[in-house]
Amino acid sequence: MSGSVRCLIAGNWKMNGVLQEAIDFVGGLQENASPEHVEVALMPPFTLLHTLNARLAEKGVVMGAQNVYYEPKGAFTGSISPMMLRDCGCHYVILGHSERRDVIGENNEQLRKKLDAAWAAGLEPILCIGEHLSERESGATNAVLKSQLAILDSVPGNALLTVAYEPVWAIGTGKTASPEQVTETHAFIHDELKRLGCDCRVLYGGSVNPSNAAELMGCVGVEGALVGGASLKAVSFMAIVNAAAHEFG
Ligand code: PEP
């Protein structure tokens, strides 16, 4: 259900980046930024998509967006449709990031509508799931993940999909899940995805950086990373890509 390359390193810029920073970033990427066996993607803010499309493609980097609305067009002031993202050159769209679930209040019902709309337009969603610290500490991690994955019930067989496991307590905090926690949780997610008929790629996200990338990418069941802070600089982003290339080469 995921793209043909099993490992994906995707950079999520969140609400960061203006034009000159984006141009400098692309200039700092190595010539072929997607080594063999690793696909590299960048999700800049909407405002940069059109400008970055050809520049990223020249470096072998696929582009995505950080969110989308589920209606195709019309009176939805401030919203962006799946076809608009395709028109800018996007392949991926992040859905269900914890910042959107927790800060904006996005729920499972809206997310399923977004998934269906993204698929209808030919986008590949990267569906983010993850538990809060209190949920991990109370032993509720698997139940939380199961309920977040439940929106994948009856997914069309040919739907493109990537899942990103992002423990909320590890996002932007400098804390990462231990290799044992990552391996165990990814095994649970893969089992659950198989049960739902969605055997797709599962990324890890949460404070991935050049120093911990190799260890995290080496965990069984991890097929890439969703990278926030460390994707803002070409040097640190490339270091993560190259660590993944080493693991998956
Ligand atoms: C993210 O934005 O999905 C993320 C994992 O951020 P960070 O790498 O900064 O923790």
Give per-residue pLDDT as tens, 77-109: 999 999 999 999 999 999 999 999 999 999 999
Dihedral sign computed on CA atoms, order 185, 150, 66, 63? positive
Burial category of 215 from C-beta neighbours within 10 Å (exposed 0-12, middle 13-18, buried 19 and up): middle
Among the atoms of ligand 1, which is closest to the Cα of residue 14?
A: 2
pLDDT of residue 6: 84
Q: Is 166 a catalytic residue?
A: yes
Helix, strand, or coil (residue 45): coil
Smallest CA-to-CA distance from 10 within 35, 45, 38 is with: 38
Three-state DSSP at 175 gives coil
Instruction: Measure the CA–CA gap between 131 and 141, rounded to whole angstroms.
Output: 6
Query: Is residue 221 packed enough to be buried (19+ CB in 10 Å), middle (13-18) or exposed (0-12)?
Result: middle
Helix (H, G, I), strand (E, B) or coil at 72: coil
Tell me which of 166, 192, 223, 247 is the catalytic residue.
Answer: 166
Ligand 1 cavity residues, CB under 6 Å: 12, 14, 97, 166, 171-172, 205-208, 226-230
How do residues 131-187 score in pLDDT, each as one tens digit? 999 999 999 999 999 999 999 999 987 899 999 999 999 999 999 999 999 999 999
pTM of the model: 0.96
pLDDT at residue 94, rounded to an integer: 98
CA distance linking residue 97 with residue 213, whole number of Å = 20
Domains of the chain with bracketed CATH: 7-248 (3.20.20.70)
Nearest alpha carbon to residue 208 among 220, 184, 190, 224: 224
Instruction: Examine the residue annotation and report whether 186 is marked as an active-site residue of this protein.
Output: no
Return the pLDDT at 150: 97
Ligand 1 atom closest to Cα of residue 227: 8
Residue nearest to atom 6 of ligand 1 (CA): 228
Distance 220 CA to ligand 1 centre (A): 21
